[in-house]
Structure 1
Amino acid sequence: MSTAPATARTAVPYWTVGDVRVHRIDEVALPAATGAWLLPGATPDLVAGQYWLSPDFADDEGGLRIDSHSFAFTVGGSRVLVDTGIGNGKERANPAWHGLHTEYLQRLTAAGYPPDAVDLVVLTHLHADHVGWNTRRENGKWVPTFPNARYLTSRTEREFWAGYDMDQARRQMFRDSVFPVEEAGLLDLVDVPAEGMEVVPGLRLIPTPGHTPGHLALELTSRARTAVITGDCIHHPVQLAHPAVGACVDIDPEASEASRRELLGRLADTDTLLLGTHFAPPTAGRVVTDADTFRLLPVPAGAARLR
């Protein structure tokens, strides 16, 4: 699978949070069938009942639009990348993820974050579509894409997978996208308390278990403005209206729903910007109360010209 080259794009989307620009680094829009597979409870009738999802987050038939992208920003003196997508040339069981050839790194560089300049890579969890660009292939070997960065994830997350009976596809993902980072001594495991923890000034990790046991969301603060990056605690805006709709790959569906409800309840009717790790454009918005649940009030991105 390939995507339009970066040179065909006119801008790198970003949102301003205080003094920080949060750039969306696009990788690929996922096939239409992804939504029905990933969120089976989000039936076309249920989606159609939320008028505000169309046309940005759902198509005319009630199908969900889902993207793969990362977020990059500079805070506390560190150049940070949150999640690394699917990656190029990876052997994957999911056909939509297999053998990609995108210009993700060119887009990342165009936003001002060439791989050698990234200081910190935060992995919300260790799934194949969040760790793929951890590595790239050089001289027949998978090597860290960001050689000067510390890669960070939850200790709970890494230890869970260490004891998990992995199938072949997941073992392959660890071989090409996790083990090389560990072998290079670049992976840091952190113990995240229930109240969260600051990893650099202005950036906090928030435990949101359920999708995976050590799943993290991130809270970014600058000059009294705040944004939250969802990871896979929330895959799609339809889950604001229906928090009970979970992903087919949630390890603990009840915990995932509880994390989602707690996060949405905390953000509702505040100025905090919600940035969805899989939300199709416009990707970001504010959570507002809608009857007894929530909806997303979109906040359009600005655009930084490609260099």
Structure 2
Amino acid sequence: MNTDTIELGHVTVTRVREYYGPLGLPPRGFVPESSEDVWTAHSDWLRPDFADGEPPVAQVALQTWVLRSEGRVVLVDTGGGNHKARPGTPWDRQETAFLDDLARAGVKPEDVDLVVNTHLHGDHVGWNTRLDGEDWVPTFPNARYLINRNDFEFWNPANGHTSVLGDGNAGVFEDSVAPVHEAGQVVLWEDSHVIDANLRLDLAAGHTPGSSVLTLASGGDRAVFVGDLLHSPVQIMEPDANSCFCEDAGQSRATRRRLLGWAADHNALLVPAHFGSHGAVEVVRDAGAFAVKGWAGFAPYTPGGEG
């Protein structure tokens, strides 16, 4: 079963995997501003979890974080989805057992109260909807979908914005965002949004204009679900190194440094969207950058293997 659970204060966090394997890019194609030195110096633990094969290929996870807080079920990001046209990605028109794995974690679609999309790239919103005949319908019929207004406006094709992805996010708004909006299930928030006493959303722009982070503060525990603020652990050691998918390079660097600093200073667990292995990490300050302090208690899984 591809699930695992930890407790943070009064919140239960469960990881449900959709995909874990090669992205189809070399490590420095994925994070082009990273140095060869950082990949070499840390190869003993970056391989095979974050780079594997010869020549090496970046490894990524698509996974959903299931939070149970104050009696409600909250999903953080919904992966790639099934049957979605995503040319050039490993999750193009995929057919996975994601909903079965979600059920094994104790969650049926109708149980979900809130869906958080940290941003509106196709690998974060795919299970917002499912195919019903020829129509895309909300997968989680009783949920409110929390989407930052900046991203909703940026990715809405009616507004004519251009992206560093070119047409790499084409069709995503139409098949994974518009249907839940038309169903009246979307809540558009702006600078911040309080979910409950344990959970708060904040704008963390740069990767996309509406990229957001979800902060968990419960009891003495702290965690921050950072979406694509970190695509790879090399961005901990080299925080100014953006991935190839960031819309605003300067803003991405500033946001990443700010949140890495907050996590280090508050002993908070960083929970990126795409880390495989143990999935989440604690960091410390290290000579103007940061270093790995330790990994979360999630059971590790390996590329292509079972968790």
* Band of TM-score, shorter chain: 0.7 to 0.9
Shift of 1:97: 2.2
Q: Is the 8 A contact 2:155 2:173 kept in 1?
A: no
CA distance in structure 2 between the aligned counterparts of 1:36 and 1:176, rounded to whole angstroms? 31
Q: Are residues 1:300 and 2:297 paired? A: yes
**Matched residue type, 2:176:** S
**CA-atom RMSD in angstroms:** 2.1
The unaligned stretches of length 5 or more in structure 1 are: 1-8
Aligned counterpart in structure 2 of residue 287 of structure 1, from 283, 289, 294: 283
1:18 matched to 2:15: no
Q: What is the deviation of 1:101?
A: 1.0
In structure 1, give the amino acid aligned to 2:49.
D
- Out of 116, 134, 143, the residue aligned to residue 110 of structure 2 is 116
CA–CA distance in structure 1, aligned partners of residues 24 and 34 of structure 2: 12
Change (3 A) 1:114 1:37: farther
Using a 3 Å threshold, how does the CA distance of structure 1 residues 168 and 248 change in structure 2: closer, same or farther?
Answer: closer
Q: Which moved more, 1:47-56 or 1:278-287?
A: 47-56
Q: Is the Cα–Cα contact under 8 Å of residues 83 and 124 in structure 1 kept in the other structure?
A: yes
SS of corresponding position for 2:195:
strand
Q: 2:122 corresponds to which residue? A: 128
Between 199-208 and 269-278, the greater mean CA deviation after superposition:
269-278
Deviates more, 1:200-209 or 1:211-220: 200-209
Shift, 1:246, TM fit: 0.5
Kept in 2, the 8 Å contact 1:270–1:286? The answer is: no
Give the 3-state SS of the residue equivalent to 2:224 in structure 1: strand
2:10 aligned partner, one-letter code: D
1:221 to 217, 220, 224: 217
Tell me the equivalent position of 1:184. Answer: 183
Q: How does 1:138-149 map to 2 (within 5 A)?
A: 138-149=132-143
**1:260, CA displacement in angstroms?**
0.2
Letter in 1 for 2:189: V
> Which residue type is aligned with residue 38 of structure 1?
F
Secondary structure at the counterpart of residue 200 of structure 1: coil
3-state DSSP class of the match of 2:171?
helix
Distance 1:49-1:169 versus aligned 2 partners, 3 A rule = closer
Deviations 1:220-264 (Å, cap 9, x if unpaired)?
A: 122221111110111111100011111212110110010000000
Residues 200-221 of structure 1: CA distance to partner in whole angstroms, max 9, x if unpaired?
A: 2211112211000111011112
- Normalising by structure 2, report the TM-score: 0.88
Cα distance between partner residues in 2 of 1:145 and 1:71: 16
Q: Is the 8 A contact 1:90 1:100 kept in 2?
A: yes
Percent identity reads 40
Counterparts of 1:280 and 1:250, CA distance in 2 = 21
TM-aligned CA deviation for residue 278 of structure 1: 0.5
One-letter code aligned to 1:298 = W
Give, in whole Å, the separation in 2 of the partners of 1:64 and 1:302: 21
SS in 1 for 2:115: strand
Q: CA offsets, 1:87-118, max 9 Å, x none?
A: 01111122412111111111111111111100
Aligned pairs (5 A) from 1:257-296: 257-268=253-264, 270-296=266-292
Q: Name the residue aligned to 1:5.
A: none
Structure 1 residue 38 corresponds to structure 2 residue 30: yes
Q: Unpaired runs of 5+ in structure 2?
A: 301-307
Q: Relative to 1, partners in 2 of residues 1:169 and 1:278: Cα closer, same or farther, differing over 3 Å?
A: closer
- 8 Å CA contact 2:22–2:57 kept in 1: the answer is no
- Following superposition, the deviation at residue 179 of structure 1 comes to 1.1
